[in-house]
Amino acid sequence: MDFRKSLELQERLHRLVPGGAHTYARGADQYPEGMTPVLARGKGARVWDVDGNSYLEYGMGLRSVTLGHAYEPVLDAVRAVLPDGLSFTRPTELELAAAEDFVELTGAEMVKFGKNGSDATTAAVKLARAATGRDVVAVCDQPFYSVDDWFICTTEMDAGTSAQRTVRFRYNDLDSLRRVFTEHSGRIAAVVLEAATALAEPGTGFLKGVRDLCDANHTVLVFDEMITGFRWAAGGAQAVYGIRPDLSCWGKAMGNGFPVSALAGRRDLMELGGLRTDQPRVFLMSSTHGPETVSLAAFRAVVRAYREGDPVGRMERAGRLLADGVNSAAAELGIAECVSVIGRPSCLVFATKDAAGIPSQAFRTLFLREMLTRGVLGQSFVISAAHTDADVEHTVEAAHAAMLVYRKALESGGVEGFLRGRPVAPALRRYASPRQLGPPFEGL
């Protein structure tokens, strides 16, 4: 493949944009060196880069696109509102209709719209602290919740953050949460977690146990539904597992790529950020662009697609075909212990390990490279409802061919001779240069 124009544009991006991308997960360090396509357009499950290369895409806009790129009913809804203007000095009827759609879909009592997920999660934390008069937030040991200090202070990239009272507990480990409540007795304002992830489903009784602990300690339970919303179900993980949080935070697939997020929850909590309260008001979410008409129209079109069809069912069916196909190919080649597709069918990832069974960023890079050369782009196998059986078949064939190269590298003792340049690196790390990471990178 020819990446010359992409590489030229990537270099120009680095000169103007820190990191060369506006999201760490989109950075050039997340892809094989010299193979960092700059994209020009997308349709359905396929994207094209500026060099004219075509790819089947997985990850789908960091999981924000479930219906496919340039999904016509969403575009039609957006075109319909454009002639009437986007932003006004007072609410629009569209805001009311979108709010009615949201609460009907999720069962929440009130909702406030924003533009990105961090706005919603940070507002939830602020609201919980105000409602309880407490300062400590307990977050589950899961990848990411917010760009704001209350979470970033717990990561490797904590430079420049202010000290925050944020503590961690382990997923599917109620005892670890009990210890947090004991160690910070009477101080936990909120418990924040994803009810499920691509890699982990809740164990029997775990979510109910979390709910019970929060109730017993008068703590606000917050579900991060950024990924699970519209991918596990239209009503999110809470609809799948039957546990109702006090507050929930939404984004990503709400607009099928259009920027919209939401904080939703109990009326008594949400009204602390409103006008109908005798309590000191909380500065909750206040955004110039939160209620603009384009994204709310897109959201309403997404809701209609989920009401009238079964996007989640299509994603789960295609995901099962993909996982079964790639895992069968890995078993056929005798490397099932080193390459595997795991996770919920609608949110699959691939694990890449070396001959010793240790997660390897070098072998991950080799797999990414070989998939790219065969027209498959993605840091995961997160699928959309636009992926067809033919797309899945092509991906399985590409993975089979990639794993032939992978097996040769395993047999030779490493990726030397098979991979040019540095391996990919974790997006959240202390130092920019991979040379400063020391031991081999860890991760899937």
Q: Which of 275, 308, 341 is the last residue of a domain?
A: 308
Count of Cβ atoms closer than 10 Å to residue 82 Cβ: 11
pLDDT at 148: 86
Q: What tokens were used for 152?
A: 């970033």
| Whether the Cβ atoms of residue 282 and residue 126 lie closer than 8 Å to each other | yes
Q: Average of pLDDT values for 191-215?
A: 97
Measure the CA–CA gap between 219 and 49, rounded to whole angstroms.
Answer: 48
Do the domain assignments include residue 386? yes
- pLDDT of residue 273 exceeding 90, the answer is yes
Q: What tokens were used for 178?
A: 């009990």
Instruction: Kindly state whether residues 11 and 76 are assigned to the same domain.
Output: no
Q: Average of pLDDT values for 267-278?
A: 95
Instruction: Kindly state whether residues 176 and 283 are assigned to the same domain.
Output: yes
Measure the CA–CA gap between 211 and 213, rounded to whole angstroms.
Answer: 6
- pLDDT of residue 289 exceeding 50, the answer is yes
Instruction: Kindly state whether residues 215 and 79 are assigned to the same domain.
Output: yes
pLDDT at 437: 39
- pLDDT of residue 239 exceeding 60, the answer is yes
Strand order in the sheet with 136-140: 110-114, 261-265, 247-250, 220-224, 188-193, 136-140, 166-169
Do the domain assignments include residue 444? no
pLDDT at 441: 34
| Whether the Cβ atoms of residue 56 and residue 394 lie closer than 8 Å to each other | yes
Predicted structure pTM score: 0.93
| Domain CATH number, residue 405 | 3.90.1150.10
DSSP H helical segments within 44-155, as ranges?
A: 60-63, 72-81, 93-106, 117-132, 149-152
Instruction: Classify each residue of 259-274 as buried b or exposed e, where b means 16 or more C-beta atoms within 10 Å of its C-beta.
Output: bbbbbbbbeebbbbbe
Measure the CA–CA gap between 332 and 334, rounded to whole angstroms.
Answer: 5
Instruction: Kindly state whether residues 314 and 429 are assigned to the same domain.
Output: yes
Do the domain assignments include residue 443? no
| Whether the Cβ atoms of residue 305 and residue 134 lie closer than 8 Å to each other | no
Measure the CA–CA gap between 126 and 123, rounded to whole angstroms.
Answer: 5
Position 129 confidence tier, pLDDT thresholds 50, 70, 90: very high
Do the domain assignments include residue 416? yes
Q: Average of pLDDT values for 381-397?
A: 98
